[in-house]
Amino acid sequence: MWAAIPTNKVVGALWPNDAEGSAYSDPKFGFPGALQGKYKLVDPGRFELATSDYSAQIRAFKEAKVEILTGVLPPPAFATFWSQAGQQGFKPKIATMAKAILFPTAVEALGARGAGLTTEVWWSPSFPFKSGLSGQNAVELCVAYEDEAKKQWTQPIGFLHALFEVALDVLQRTKDIDSPGAIRDAIRTTDYNSIVGRIAWEGKPFKNVAKTTLVGGQWIPGSKFKQWAAGQKFKNDLVIVNNDTDKSIGTQWEMEPLP
């Protein structure tokens, strides 16, 4: 996503003093290693999530001329930072946040400043997968959810559905349903096409991890995007702007810099 917008390739990081912040900032397995040789990293260091003053981080970003912001923060913490950033004149061209803008309600809470924020997308109505259990595809599941719940779809819906799909598949293949070991063995040999894509534990990077597709998305005002679900109108839409990691998932929008 970042390559789509001309920048000075200076990245500012908001990684708090918690498990996620430690993982993201790990020199070998986190972002620093991935950015090395491609982007300049500005990391002001770990901070407590309870903080209410981000002046030090904002000052460091402005002094380094940061044009790309990233981090992993819960919605309230990011809302505080983003408000102070606006007040103090920190205006990056790109802001890609994990966790903070997962749900549409969190983006709505930011008001007009929620438009243009980018994030990872691990599932959406545009994913070309269907349930191996019900045959329902991603669009149909989201439409059914919105019709019944009267709320906008969210990414976890697909994985909650896939959780039950995989559990039922495992139990059907378990040789001895009363044996925890037999259930474990059935999980280990899973090779199942779910509504979030193929699920298989292949030992990479670890034997208890099954990796699924990840693409890049941007939140845009609902008025700018033609809705995929007839009659449904929402304040903001999460649209796919980069599919370099999986070309089977189509892009819906050309990424734009922050207003």
pLDDT in tens, 57-107: 999 999 999 999 999 999 999 999 999 999 999 999 999 999 999 999 999
Q: Inform me whether the pLDDT recorded for 228 exceeds 90.
A: no
3-state secondary structure of 131: coil
Q: What is the CATH number of domain 2-122+213-242?
A: 3.40.50.2300
Q: Residue 55 half-sphere exposure, CB side, CA atoms within 13 Å?
A: 1
Proportion of the chain in helix, strand, coil states, percent, rounded to 5: 35, 20, 50
Q: What pLDDT was estimated at residue 231?
A: 46
What does the domain layout of the chain look like in residue ranges?
2-122+213-242, 138-200
Residue 229 CB-density burial (10 A; 0-12 exposed, 13-18 middle, 19+ buried): middle
Q: Inform me whether the pLDDT recorded for 227 exceeds 80.
A: no
pLDDT in tens, 8-65: 999 999 999 999 999 999 999 999 999 999 999 999 999 999 999 999 999 999 999 9
Name residue 187's amino acid.
I
pLDDT in tens, 128-147: 999 999 999 999 999 999 99
Q: Inform me whether the pLDDT recorded for 230 exceeds 70.
A: no
pLDDT in tens, 181-195: 999 999 999 999 999
Q: Which of 2, 226, 3, 246 is nearest to 123 (CA)?
A: 246
Q: What pLDDT was estimated at residue 33?
A: 94
What would the two tokens of residue 20 be?
């996620």
What would the two tokens of residue 201 be?
């534990």
Mean pLDDT of the chain: 95
